[in-house]
Amino acid sequence: MIERLAGRISDSPMLDGISTAYLNRLYPAQWVLAEVLDADARKRPTRVRVIAHSANRQDIHSVLMQSHGHLVLLFVGAPRIDSIAF
């Protein structure tokens, strides 16, 4: 199941962006599509606005194909052992 977050109530802190550290606590073991709001000197996202999240990468990919902007697709947490190729 996918949850899209864009377009929620304007006073939501999610629309102002969240730190990537907080993102890790909010969406464990999920794919997250986010707009990059701020990055460090090495161009790693430090603050993002979540657009959508899901445990299923294919769901996020379909949203990504319809989205524009400076986006990042992240898997939050450790990958499942069955998804690692050797």
The pTM assigned to this predicted structure is: 0.72
Residues 6+ apart with CB under 8 A from 83: none
Q: Indicate the domain borders of the chain.
A: 3-78
Task: Report whether 31 contacts 55 (CB < 8 A).
Answer: yes
The neighbour count for residue 35, using CB atoms within 10 Å, is: 18
Q: What is the pLDDT of residue 3?
A: 58
Q: What's the pLDDT score for residue 20?
A: 87
Assess whether pLDDT exceeds 50 at residue 9.
no
pLDDT at 79: 64
What is the mean predicted confidence (pLDDT) over 6-10? 39
Tell me the per-residue pLDDT of 27-85, one tens digit each, with 9 for 90 and over.
Answer: 999 999 999 999 999 999 999 999 999 999 888 988 888 888 889 998 988 766 655 55
